[in-house]
Amino acid sequence: GQNIDQPTEMTATEGAIVQINCTYQTSGFNGLFWYQQHAGEAPTFLSYNVLDGLEEKGRFSSFLSRSKGYSYLLLKELQMKDSASYLCAVMDSNYQLIWGAGTKLIIKP
Amino acid sequence: NAGVTQTPKFRVLKTGQSMTLLCAQDMNHEYMYWYRQDPGMGLRLIHYSVGEGTTAKGEVPDGYNVSRLKKQNFLLGLESAAPSQTSVYFCASGSGRSQVETQYFGPGTRLLVL
């Protein structure tokens, strides 16, 4: 079956760095996405990786290793507004997105 | 440019009642999707459409029907609501599989079935 695993909840301190991991097993691979979802709101796109390596976009970076079925989202200089759930999703061979349950990130002052 | 909009935002139904959720997008996207989101679970695809007049089943289609009569609209119907359909429903749209398939989400509809 297809499976996306990510931690349920993480806590970090304002100004610090946090890494959110995602491992996946899917039928085929057409890219990995990270979305941010604030409580009670819609998911919004953060990043896309299809090749191995690190993609940097401001305070956020996303890494992919296809051979290991592994990705992480790195958030630097954490701000209170970064408190949200972070969703990992993989596009499978049918171009369907398979979603993880999300990681709730709590930022403390 | 409103993006993706959904109506209603919140609804309470009794078991056995029917309703239709409306999704509209103004980005001229070909692809549209209906997901449900439940606590502790990832988004699950109910139905999707790759263009006007076409629909296809997703991961959890039972109990739902859809129609895409116009490119900008995607309707999700519940013919006979059940408590197991209590969830948050998100509509999304995307440009198509020939490009990086970033999906744009609507604000969600919170449905409670009693």
The pLDDT tens digits along chain A (109 residues) read 789 999 999 999 999 999 999 999 998 998 999 999 999 999 999 999 999 999 999 999 999 999 999 999 999 999 999 999 999 999 888 878 899 999 999 999 9
Q: What is the DSSP letter of B97?
A: T
Q: Test B100 with A101 for CB contact under 8 angstroms.
A: no
CA B51, B56, B62, B67 dihedral sign is positive
Q: Test B42 with A89 for CB contact under 8 angstroms.
A: yes
Return the pLDDT at A23: 98
Q: pLDDT at residue B98 above 80?
A: no
Residue with the larger pLDDT of the pair B40 and B79: B79
Straight-line distance from the first to the last Cα atom of chain A, in angstroms, rounded to the nearest whole number: 40
Which of B42, B103, B106 has the CB atom closest to A101's CB atom? B42
Which chain B residue shows the shortest CA-CA distance from A49?
A: B100
Q: Test A42 with B41 for CB contact under 8 angstroms.
A: no
Buried b (16+ CB within 10 A) or exposed e, B82-103: eeebbbbbbbbbbbeeeeebbb
Q: pLDDT at residue B1 above 80?
A: no
What's the mean pLDDT when you consider all of chain B?
93
- Is residue B100 very low, low, confident or very high in pLDDT (cuts 50, 70, 90)? low
User: pLDDT, tens digit, for every residue of A95-106?
Assistant: 788 999 999 999
Return the pLDDT at B97: 59
Q: What angle do CA B1, A37, B34 make, to 5 degrees?
A: 65
Mean pLDDT over residues B27-56, rounded? 93
In the structure encoding, which two tokens stand for residue A30, read together?
């057409």
Q: Single out the residue of A89, A104, A108, A105 nearest to residue A48, CA to CA.
A: A89
Which of B103, B106, B108 has the CB atom closest to A97's CB atom? B103
**Chain B environment of A102 (Cβ under 8 Å):** 42
